[in-house]
Amino acid sequence: MQNMTEETNKKHQAALLWKLSRGSRALYAVAFASMLMAVACNFMTPQLIRYLVDSVSGAPVERMPIVSSLVALAGLAPETVAQRGNMARVVMLVIAVSAFGGIFNLTYRRSLVMGAEGLVKRLRDRLYSHIQRLPYSWHITIQTGDIVQRCTSDVEIVRSFVSNQLIEIVRAISLAVFAYCILFSMNVPMAAASLAFLPIVFVYSFIFLRDTSIRFLAADEAEGQLLAIAQENFSGVRVVRAFGRERYEADRFASQNQLYAELWMKLGKMLSTYWAAGDMLTGLQMIAICVTGIYQASRGGITIGEFMVFLTYNAMIIWPVRGLGRVLAEAGKTFVSLGRLEEIFNSPTESDPESALDAPIAGDIEFDHVSFAYENAPILRDVSFTVSEGTTLGILGATGSGKTTVAHLLCRLYDLGEGEGEIRIGGVDIRRLKRSLVRKSVGIVLQEPFLYSRTIAENVASLSKHYSLEQIKEAASISQVDDAIEQFAHNYDTLVGERGVTLSGGQKQRVAIARTILKAPPIMIFDDSLSAVDTETDSRIRAALRDRVRGVTTIIISHRITSISGADKIIVMENGRIIEMGSPAELETFGGVYGRILDTQRLVVDETDEGGDRT
């Protein structure tokens, strides 16, 4: 059973690789063909040397017609190769053969890299665009680090397979096959001797690498722990200092550091024997050829030229075969990586049906008996309200009351299922509209907005090039962030993020507000997006929005009562339900949460006066 599924998995992964290879297949064909030609040319030089040497030694040379005709083509014959006048011809002949080899070699490497890198580019592009189109619900369940790791390390493993290992395996095998066909046709006992140690060399390196991988893993883990100690120390430096634990930390690091170094030194002992034994086997192979050669020569079964060919071929194939063990051990990882990438590809992306409407939307927003559950946990229960076009709605509620979900549903980060009610804009169910259209029409500013590692101007313009600097500045001034931006060394061209300036939480929020204002959507949502801005700036932003951005339907979500007190309508939410709804004046007299908060604010003031009275 286990094997069966593993087999089908491998088939899937091979299919994925095959699909990705579209566009690179011709290049691979060229690469493989020229690789084989290059190998053939490489084999030609020793044969040429054999021919030349044996011509001089007086031994029979006509063993390979292709070599003989090459020599004839150069205008040489066995009897004339050693003549002074023919030196130039010999030079030309040897160089010509290797020049052909060189040209094939170059073609092979270049077309291989073009094919492989093309494949990798397609893989990366597809991964990225797939991830961009995966739904919001996928994004909140995954671990960013894990996915980034797959997109980088696993892609790298696939890359080294398609750009190296694949052709290396084929090359080593074809070298060996080529060589043995020629060697056996030349001299059977000698060929058998040349073959003697080769399987051992291959099996030995394959088994060694397979069995030591677990120790490499242990060393990697030790390094990971060392890294963790360092990381915790540097990021927790205040705790370390405040408790005066420098000595303890240094000892802890030193002992793990020592452990890690020792693990590697132990691994080094195994590696040293492995390498040395590999050399030893290679050497024994050479001695076996010499001994058999001597034995054969004493019976007249081999010429000097032939003996030299055996020595050279042996040197040519032993290294690729030694490497083959390593390559095969590493190539095994490719399928694991492909499997991990496949998991990403198998998650379904967001897509709009053919019939999705793409007409501009405007009008009143209606939540019509909306209930919503996420992973079986009810979040919204029977929520109904309307927001008339051009008015402002304030939503008040504690953490977990469902107010953010209202916003997410309205910009279709989630979709309502069957029987969960309906959300309409201008009378149209938003599920019938194209997603991108809804999101372009409903501008939302998140509580913890994300800024791209670009310039501030690019961030405000949402990476689009359609806005002028004037427009960008205007948006920044409405969101009260223009002064802060002008303080930076490069003003609007200042880079944000790791390689640039670090913005405070409040500055980020204001840049994000500017970004939404610039897009001028007919509906704007502020999802607690002024939480890190001080109260004065908060009210200045709201005033600027009121005066300078007209006709926009606005939803302000907040737990700060002052932020929503200017709304036309307020709803108060608790546990996914609307518990109060009305104009600020109505709610004030209603005696609910809203009223209570206003009261307690007065209480605070009273308390002050009271305190004043007492002293």
Partner 1 sequence: MTNRTDEETERPFDLRTWYAMGTFFKPFRRLLVRIAVLMTVSSVVDVLIPLYQKYVIDNYIFARSGSGIMIVASTGIAMLIVQFAATVLFTRAAIRVEMGFSRDLKKACFDHLQTLSLSFYNTTPVGYIIARVMSDTDKIGLLVAWGLVALVWGLSYIVFAIAAMLILDFRLGIWLAGTIPFMLIVTTWFQNNILRHNRTVRRTNSLITGSFNEGILGARTSKTLAIEDINISEFADLTGKMYGGTVRAATWSAVYTPLMLMFGSFAIAMIMANGLGFVARGTIAFGTLSAMISYAVNIFEPIQHLSNIFSEATATQANIERVEALLKHSPEIKDSPEVTAVYGDSFEPKRENWEPLVGDIEFEDVTFKYPDGEEYVLEHFNLRVPAGTCVAIVGETGAGKSTLVNLVCRFYEPTRGRILIDGRDYRERSQLWLHSNIGYVLQSPHLFSGTARDNIRYGKQDAADEEIMESLRLVSAGDVINKLPQGLDSDVGEGGDRLSTGEKQLLSFARAVLADPRILVLDEATSSIDTETERRIQNAVSKILTGRTSFLIAHRLSTIKMADLILVIRDGKIIEQGTHRELLRKKGYYLRLYSMQYESEIL
Q: Which of 399, 427, 468, 551 binds partner 1 (CB under 8 A)?
A: 399
Q: Which of 376, 502, 551, 585 binds partner 1 (CB under 8 A)?
A: 502
**Nearest partner of 55 among 42, 67, 40, 43, judged by Cα:** 67
Q: Which of residues 543-602 bind partner 1 (CB under 8 A)?
A: 559-562, 593, 596-597, 600-601
Query: Is residue 453 a contact point for partner 1 (CB under 8 A)?
Result: yes
How many other C-beta atoms lie within 10 A of the C-beta of residue 308? 16
User: Which of 8-16, 62-70, 198-206, 243-251 is the region at the interface with partner 1 (rule: CB under 8 A)?
Assistant: 243-251
Q: Which of residues 85-114 bind partner 1 (CB under 8 A)?
A: 87-88, 90-95, 97-99, 101-103, 105-106, 109-110, 113-114
* Contact pattern from residue 515 through residue 534 relative to partner 1, giving x for each residue in contact according to CB under 8 A and a dash for the rest: x---x------------x-x
Distance in Å, CB of 429 to partner 1, minimum: 19
Find out whether 333 and 153 touch, Cβ atoms under 8 Å.
no
Rounded alpha-carbon distances, angstroms, from residue 254 to 137, 138, 228, 229: 44, 42, 13, 10
Query: Is residue 312 a contact point for partner 1 (CB under 8 A)?
Result: yes
Strand order in the sheet with 422-425: 377-387, 365-374, 422-425, 428-429
* Contact pattern from residue 25 through residue 54 relative to partner 1, giving x for each residue in contact according to CB under 8 A and a dash for the rest: --------------------x---x--xx-
Cα 21 to Cα 122: distance, rounded to the nearest angstrom: 9
Q: Which of 325, 402, 449, 576 binds partner 1 (CB under 8 A)?
A: 449
* Coil, helix or strand at residue 382: strand
Beta strand 442-445 pairing with 523-527: parallel
Find out whether 368 and 384 touch, Cβ atoms under 8 Å.
yes
Query: Is residue 211 a contact point for partner 1 (CB under 8 A)?
Result: no
Instruction: Give the amino acid at 536.
Output: E
Cα 536 to Cα 474: distance, rounded to the nearest angstrom: 20
Nearer to partner 1, 396 or 416 (CB): 396
Query: Is residue 373 a contact point for partner 1 (CB under 8 A)?
Result: no
Give percent helix, percent strand, percent coil of the chain, each to the nearest 5.
65, 10, 20
Q: Which of 154, 168, 249, 482 binds partner 1 (CB under 8 A)?
A: 249
Query: Is residue 66 a contact point for partner 1 (CB under 8 A)?
Result: no
Query: Is residue 612 a contact point for partner 1 (CB under 8 A)?
Result: yes
**Nearest partner of 209 among 321, 317, 320, 330, judged by Cα:** 330
Find out whether 219 and 260 touch, Cβ atoms under 8 Å.
yes
Q: Which of 12, 40, 68, 136 binds partner 1 (CB under 8 A)?
A: 136
Query: Is residue 463 a contact point for partner 1 (CB under 8 A)?
Result: yes
Cα 138 to Cα 509: distance, rounded to the nearest angstrom: 25
Task: Tell me the H-state helices in 58-86.
Answer: 65-73
User: Which of 126-134, 170-178, 327-335, 418-426 is the region at the interface with partner 1 (rule: CB under 8 A)?
Assistant: 126-134
Number of residues that bind partner 1 (CB under 8 A): 168
User: Which of 172-180, 194-202, 234-242, 539-547 is the region at the interface with partner 1 (rule: CB under 8 A)?
Assistant: 234-242
User: Which of 2-10, 13-21, 414-422, 448-456 is the region at the interface with partner 1 (rule: CB under 8 A)?
Assistant: 448-456
Beta bridge partners of 574: 577
